[in-house]
């Protein structure tokens, strides 16, 4: 998980607050740039229309990206100072421009939780589907279906996982992911006339789940 993903996990951006903070509309998204560390570095933060955040830290002296920031093997005092300053900046942006998504009692997504969710996704058999709520229940977080959806949206950063087999409670596929239906149909999964998966027929029913 990137520094930006950790800073903005389960956060929803408010366009009005972003404009007030200094973000500039750029295409379908927003961008923000500011100097920090007494002007030695420049942070460039972009937010896509679906809320994905990316960032770059530029060393102003040579106008190149400061790559040691993202390498966990680099832990010198100066690098950690730059890293801490950037994380503080992102935290300030989150506090000023975002509201927290109400995902239930636990909103922190860490690597262990991500691996747990993706492990369940990997267990969904060929030709079957599972819902976000179903996976949330399997990890003891019945109220965190939205969190599972968030993890699915970033799963490609953690390897190859059959996320096309995860759908919402009504059998709907992910909006904008046109390939998902084709992938499911290739496994023999059929759809109703309303475009939703036939949940009753194709839902995965592991013995460990009493639902």
Query: Residue 47 falls within a domain, yes or no?
Result: yes
Q: Which domain holds residue 191?
A: 111-202
Mean pLDDT for all residues in the chain: 88
Which residues have C-beta within 8 Å of that of residue 174, sequence separation ≥ 6? 152, 167, 180
Backbone angles phi, psi at 84, to 5 degrees: -65, -40
pLDDT tens, N- to C-terminus, the chain (211 residues): 688 887 887 788 899 999 999 999 998 899 999 999 999 999 999 998 878 899 999 999 999 999 999 887 888 899 999 999 999 999 999 999 998 766 444 445 667 788 899 999 999 999 999 999 999 999 888 888 888 988 998 888 788 899 999 999 999 999 888 899 999 999 999 999 999 999 999 999 986 444 3
Distance (Å, rounded) from C-alpha 113 to C-alpha 6? 13
Distance (Å, rounded) from C-alpha 163 to C-alpha 149? 10
Distance (Å, rounded) from C-alpha 105 to C-alpha 87? 24
pLDDT digits (tens, 9 = 90+) for 169-193: 999 999 888 899 999 999 999 999 9
pTM comes to: 0.52
Of the candidates 107, 189, 183, 185, which has an alpha carbon nearest to the alpha carbon of residue 151?
A: 107
- Domain containing residue 116: CATH number: 1.10.10.10
The encoded tokens of residue 116 equal 């747990």
Domain identity same for 41 and 124: no
Query: Residue 106 falls within a domain, yes or no?
Result: no
Domain identity same for 37 and 83: yes
Query: Residue 208 falls within a domain, yes or no?
Result: no
Domain identity same for 23 and 77: yes
Query: Residue 66 falls within a domain, yes or no?
Result: yes
Domain identity same for 95 and 173: no
pLDDT digits (tens, 9 = 90+) for 30-63: 999 999 999 999 999 999 887 889 999 999 999 9
Give the total number of structural domains in the chain.
2
């Amino acid at each position: 998980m990137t520094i930006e993903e950790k800073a903005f996990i389960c956060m929803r951006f408010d366009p009005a607050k972003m404009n007030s903070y200094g973000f500039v509309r750029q295409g379908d998204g927003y961008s923000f740039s500011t100097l920090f560390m007494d002007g030695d570095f420049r942070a460039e933060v972009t937010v896509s229309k679906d809320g994905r955040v990316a960032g770059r830290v530029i060393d102003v002296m040579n106008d190149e990206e400061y790559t040691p920031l993202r390498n966990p093997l680099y832990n010198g005092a100066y690098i950690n100072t730059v890293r801490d300053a950037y994380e503080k900046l992102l935290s300030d942006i989150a506090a000023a421009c975002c509201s927290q998504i109400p995902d239930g009692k636990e909103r922190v997504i860490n690597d262990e939780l991500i691996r747990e969710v993706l492990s369940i996704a990997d267990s969904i058999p060929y030709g079957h589907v599972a819902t976000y709520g179903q996976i949330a229940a399997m990890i003891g977080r019945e109220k965190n279906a939205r969190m599972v959806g968030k993890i699915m949206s970033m799963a490609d950063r953690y390897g190859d996982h059959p996320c096309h087999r995860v759908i919402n409670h009504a059998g709907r596929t992910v909006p904008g992911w046109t390939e998902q239906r084709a992938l499911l149909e290739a496994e023999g999964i059929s759809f109703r006339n309303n475009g939703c998966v036939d949940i009753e027929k194709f839902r995965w029913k592991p013995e460990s789940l009493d639902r």
